[in-house]
Amino acid sequence: VTDAVETEWVSTAGPYVSDFEKKLAEYVHTPAAVSTQNGTSALHISLLLCGVTREDAVIVPTLTFIAAVNPTKYVGAEPVFMDCDDSLCMDPVKLQKFCETECDFTDGKLIDRQTGRHIKAMVVVHVFGNMADMEAIMPIAAKYNIKVIEDDTEALGTYYTTGQYKGKFAGTIGDLGCYSFNGNKIITTGGGGMIVSNNQELLDHAKHLTTQAKADQANFIHDEIGFNYRMTNLQAALGLAQLEQLEGFIKTKEANYFRYKDAIDKIDGLHVQDFRDGIRSNYWFYSVVFEKDETGRDRLIEELKENHIQSRPIWELISDQIPYEGSRTYELERAPWYWHRVVNVPCSTNLDASGVDRVINVIKNFK
């Protein structure tokens, strides 16, 4: 970062941008990567790369951060809100059932009978560092010719340890994967994002679109509507340094996760949500679940606050929010169940064992 400042390459030109792209691609074992301004812009570009337009629909989760869904509207398309399973990620059983019973598949196109829209893509979010059930989702996507965009903004570092995708990182299994380096993510560049793919042609197009679609830079010739979605050299320098710390951050988060889990799972009616078997999670976020009591969530948040500990409820369902009123939904059951019952407790990499114990003590004494 100091070098970027001292050499005065602080903006979108400079060597660290391509260095960071290369290092990130190496880390997740993809041939290349394209940096962006943030995770949201990475998702926007990915939808454009999948050819999603205003006549189309995109299958999205309802239990997630809204930035996973808004880009569908940026390209003029409509969302179809899908339920989650107990991983908090997209439910492949409902996904299959929706495609089979609600849609027609003709000429390689999946058409939603209710809206007449072509379902061209889906955004699969790896929630809180978990891995969505890609082994089940990918065959459904292949069968119905749906492009898969992985929203991996919360799961950098998560990978399969067994099964057909053994060694594969979240974000590298679908057509495109999107990362975020916002301040709340496992590593940060202040603000920033990255697109990965195994398809070099898609990545070349991504670079073109994120850099104003210059056909001839010297003469200011542009051949498409492009975007200024570039990362800066300063941000990339920070990203390179952060990437060196990523595995250490994951170790800290893992230790804190199991410290919480060991204590809280012993309390009647509470547990800490598991990560999927057969993966190495990045343990980004911890979810305390009230198994029976719907009022516990808000009461615990209050109690923690009184003890000067910040916590938060899980996201409000996107399909219930004002901009998405009247949108297409499909059999939402698990998502509303979890929405009432999850509290996210402190999970920073700065948190040590005594910090975790302070939170645990409040939860233990909570009635």
Ligand X SMILES: *Cc1c(COP(=O)(O)O)cnc(C)c1O
Kindly list the residues in this chain that would bind ligand X in the complex (CB under 6 A).
Answer: 38-40, 64-65, 67-68, 125, 151, 153-154, 180, 182, 193
Closest contact distance (angstroms) between CB of 353 and ligand X is: 27
Return the closest-CA partner of residue 187 out of 159, 152, 233: 152
As to burial, measured by CB atoms within 10 angstroms (0-12 exposed, 13-18 middle, 19+ buried), residue 365 is: exposed
Q: Which two tokens stand for residue 347?
A: 């999970």
Closest contact distance (angstroms) between CB of 43 and ligand X is: 6
Closest contact distance (angstroms) between CB of 70 and ligand X is: 9
Q: Which residue is nearest to ligand X (CB)?
A: 39
Q: Which two tokens stand for residue 46?
A: 């990915």
Our CB check for ligand X shows the closer of 296 and 346 to be: 346
Our CB check for ligand X shows the closer of 67 and 119 to be: 67
Our CB check for ligand X shows the closer of 153 and 235 to be: 153
Closest contact distance (angstroms) between CB of 95 and ligand X is: 18
Question: Helix 296-306 vs helix 353-364: angle between axes, to the nearest 10 degrees?
Answer: 130
- Residue pair 151/124 in contact (Cβ under 8 Å)? The answer is yes
Our CB check for ligand X shows the closer of 81 and 144 to be: 81
Return the closest-CA partner of residue 35 out of 207, 172, 197: 207
Our CB check for ligand X shows the closer of 125 and 363 to be: 125
Listed in sequence order, the residues at least 6 apart from 260 whose beta carbon sits closer than 8 Å to its beta carbon are 272, 286, 288, 345, 356, 359, 360
CA dihedral 224, 228, 229, 232 (to 10 degrees): 140
Closest contact distance (angstroms) between CB of 177 and ligand X is: 12
